[in-house]
A and B are shown apart, each in its own frame.
Chain A
Amino acid sequence: MARTISYREAINEALAQEMARDESVIVMGEDNAGGAGSPGEDDAWGGVLGVTKGLFHKFPGRVLDTPISESAFVGAAIGAATRGQRPVAELMFIDFMGVCFDQIFNQAVKFRYMFGGNARTPVVIRTMYGAGLRAAAQHSQCLYPIFTHIPGLKVVVPSNPYEAKGLLIQSIRDDDPVIFCEHKALYDTSGEVPEDSYTIPFGEANVVRDGDDVTIVAIGRMVAMAEGAANDLAASGIEAEVIDPRTTSPLDTETILESVEKTGRLVVVDEASPRCNLATDISALVAKEAFGSLRAPIEMVTPPHTPVPFSDALEDLYIPDAQKVLNAAKAVVEYRR
Chain B
Amino acid sequence: MIRPVTMPKWGLSMERGRITAWLAADGDEVVTGDDLAEIDTDKIAGTLESPGSGVLRCVVAAAGEDVPVGGTIALLADPETPAEELDEAARQARQEIDAGAIAGDEGPVTGTVEVDGRSLAYATLGTEGDVVVLVHGYGGDKNSWLFVQEPLAEHRIVHALDLPGHGESTKDVGDGSLGTLADAVLGFLDALGVERAHLVGHSLGGAVVVAAAAKAPHRVEKLTLLAPAGFGGPVNARYLRGFATATSRRELKPHLAALFADPDLVTRRLADDLLRYKRLDGVDRVLTTLLGTLLDGDAQAIDAARLLSTVDVPVTFVWGREDAVLPPGTTRPDVEHVDGAGHLVHLEAPGAVVAAITR
Contacts and interface: CB of A to CB of B under 8 A. Distances in A.
B281 A197 contact: yes
Contacts of B121: 1
B218 interface: no
Nearest to A162: B276
A201 B279 CA distance: 9
Nearest to B269: A210
Given A166-B279, A194-B280, A207-B268, A1 B13 contact: no
A206 B271 CA distance: 12
A283 B302 CA distance: 54
B171 interface: yes
B112 interface: yes
A206 B269 CA distance: 11
Nearest to B271: A207
Contacts, number: 31
Interface in B1-58: 13
Nearest to A197: B281
B13 A198 contact: no
Contacts of A196: 171, 280-282
B248 interface: yes
B118 to A, nearest CB: 13
A329 to B, nearest CB: 20
Interface in A173-228: 192, 194-201, 204, 206-207, 210
A200 B279 contact: yes
Contacts of A1: 110, 112, 121, 168
A2 B272 CA distance: 15
A297 to B, nearest CB: 28
B280 A197 contact: yes
B247 interface: yes
Interface in B149-205: 168, 171
Contacts of B249: 204
Contacts of B171: 196
Contacts of A2: 168
Nearest to B112: A1
Contacts of B110: 1
A169 to B, nearest CB: 8
B162 to A, nearest CB: 10
Contacts of B279: 166, 198-200
Contacts of A204: 248-249
B247 A201 contact: yes
Contacts of B13: 192
Contacts of A194: 168, 276, 280
Nearest to B111: A1
Nearest to A21: B281
Given A1-B121, A1-B168, A207-B268, A198 B247 contact: no
A155 to B, nearest CB: 20
Interface in B241-285: 247-249, 268, 272, 276, 279-282
A172 to B, nearest CB: 13
A166 B278 CA distance: 12
Interface string B100-122: 00000000001010000000010
A208 B279 CA distance: 18
B273 to A, nearest CB: 11
B268 A210 contact: yes
A215 to B, nearest CB: 14
B185 to A, nearest CB: 20
Contacts of A206: 272
Interface in A72-96: none
A207 B110 CA distance: 30
Nearest to B170: A196
B331 to A, nearest CB: 42
B108 to A, nearest CB: 13
Nearest to A196: B280
Contacts of A201: 247-248
Q: Kindly name the residue among B121, B272, B276 whose own CB sees the greatest number of chain A CB atoms within 10 A.
A: B276
Contacts of B276: 194, 198
A200 B277 CA distance: 11
A204 B271 CA distance: 14
B116 to A, nearest CB: 19
A296 B268 CA distance: 27
B69 to A, nearest CB: 17
A199 B248 CA distance: 12
A196 B268 CA distance: 23
B268 A198 contact: no
A195 B112 CA distance: 13
B248 A198 contact: no
Interface in A245-264: none
Given A1-B121, A192-B13, A204-B248, A198 B168 contact: no
A196 B277 CA distance: 10
Interface in A156-173: 166
B110 to A, nearest CB: 8
Nearest to A200: B279
Contacts of B112: 1
A166 to B, nearest CB: 7
A195 to B, nearest CB: 8
A210 B168 CA distance: 27
Contacts of A195: 168
Nearest to A17: B281
Interface in B269-312: 272, 276, 279-282
27 contacts: A1-B110, A1-B112, A1-B121, A1-B168, A2-B168, A192-B13, A194-B168, A194-B276, A194-B280, A195-B168, A196-B280, A196-B281, A197-B280, A197-B281, A198-B276, A198-B279, A198-B280, A198-B281, A199-B279, A199-B281, A200-B279, A201-B247, A204-B248, A204-B249, A206-B272, A207-B268, A210-B268
Given A197-B281, A201-B247, 13 more contacts: A1-B110, A1-B121, A192-B13, A194-B168, A194-B276, A194-B280, A196-B280, A198-B276, A198-B280, A199-B279, A199-B281, A201-B248, A207-B268
Interface of A: 1-2, 166, 192, 194-201, 204, 206-207, 210
Q: Which 10 pairs across A and B sit closest by C-beta, in order of nearness?
A: A197-B281, A196-B280, A198-B279, A198-B280, A1-B168, A199-B279, A207-B268, A204-B248, A196-B281, A210-B268
